[in-house]
């Protein structure tokens, strides 16, 4: 298994800017209820056991609103949070904390939900050599963020999009006139890209292997047929002394994922990691301190 990469993607600031523009528009009328000079202290609490993910986006929200907001984290991304425990504390101008609260928590609840679901699947296949892999079934505009969350949960990223690897599916095969012609066309156009073919029968698997693919995606195979498919692919690997990634997908659940992993597949791709999302429950509670004044009797700073 590869080392987990916790480096955030390059588009964090852009993603946060779009989210803030969506929520704040031309100004936060609600935050004006707080004194402009009032400092605030806030605590974010996890309401359930979960895997944390989303700190870079949370931090970027408040950095974009006011550089004076300071955040102290109790957990790192990828760590398991305990229910009803503080996750982080914020100190800074009340208006900035109020304006950023919902957007920051939205990122945290979404990405922690993805990481937690991924972690559950990873735990189920522990002890096998099978990786849990995401898909392109992501929320529009949030793919890089969700892929980061999958890594936080111990999962592995598939191709990012349609440009960095080729996955020939049934519609491509139909359009090209067959597996052999589809593979040949892909190799001719993009000889250096990783090439995978989705197959639905053992006959299609044999055709894909003979065409010289880098990986096969075994879609909706019954477990006993999946085991035969793995045996076929292994035999092909030994025969030609070349690496072929064997991936399973289709109707994967926590109930059957271990049985599928035990067939010997290299990885299992699950669209539900980023598509069927149950957000993690967080809450933020804030206290506003009285703003500093020039009146010594009021406890403020003298000027």
Could you say which of 59, 77, 219, 266 is catalytic? 219
Could you say which of 47, 74, 136, 137 is catalytic? 137
Could you say which of 102, 159, 187, 237 is catalytic? 102
Distance, in Å, from the CA atom of 203 to the CA atom of 218, rounded to the nearest integer, reads 12
Distance, in Å, from the CA atom of 226 to the CA atom of 260, rounded to the nearest integer, reads 8
Identify whether 219 is a catalytic site residue: yes
Could you say which of 198, 204, 247, 266 is catalytic? 198
Identify whether 275 is a catalytic site residue: no
Identify whether 126 is a catalytic site residue: no
Distance, in Å, from the CA atom of 119 to the CA atom of 130, rounded to the nearest integer, reads 14
Could you say which of 159, 169, 228, 237 is catalytic? 169
Catalytic residues, which ones? 102, 137, 169, 198, 219
């Amino acid at each position: 298994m590869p080392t987990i990469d916790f480096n955030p993607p390059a588009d964090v600031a852009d993603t946060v800017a779009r989210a803030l523009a969506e929520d704040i528009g031309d100004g936060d009328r609600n935050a004006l209820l707080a004194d402009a000079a009032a400092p605030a202290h806030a605590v974010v609490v996890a309401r359930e056991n979960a895997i944390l993910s989303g700190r870079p986006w949370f931090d970027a929200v408040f950095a974009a609103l006011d550089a004076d907001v300071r955040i102290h984290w109790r957990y790192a991304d990828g760590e398991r949070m305990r229910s009803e425990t503080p996750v982080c504390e914020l100190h800074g101008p009340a208006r900035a904390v109020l304006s950023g609260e919902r957007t920051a928590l939205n990122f945290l609840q979404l990405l922690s939900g993805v990481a937690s679901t991924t972690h559950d699947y990873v735990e189920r296949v522990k002890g096998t050599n099978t990786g849990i892999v995401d898909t392109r079934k992501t929320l529009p505009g949030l793919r890089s963020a969700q892929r980061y969350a999958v890594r936080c949960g111990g999962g592995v990223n598939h191709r990012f999009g349609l440009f960095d690897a080729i996955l020939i599916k049934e519609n491509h095969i139909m359009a090209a006139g067959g597996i052999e012609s589809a593979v040949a066309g892909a190799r001719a156009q993009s000889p250096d890209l990783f090439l995978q073919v989705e197959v639905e029968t053992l006959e299609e698997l044999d055709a894909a292997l003979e065409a010289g693919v880098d990986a096969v995606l075994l879609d909706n195979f019954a477990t006993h047929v999946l085991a035969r498919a793995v045996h076929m692919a292994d035999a092909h690997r030994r025969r030609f002394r070349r690496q072929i990634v064997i991936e399973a997908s289709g109707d994967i659940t926590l109930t059957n994922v271990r049985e599928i992993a035990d067939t010997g597949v290299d990885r299992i791709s699950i669209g539900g990691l980023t598509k069927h999302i149950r957000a993690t429950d967080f809450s933020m509670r804030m206290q506003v301190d009285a703003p500093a004044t020039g009146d010594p009797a009021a406890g403020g700073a003298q000027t």
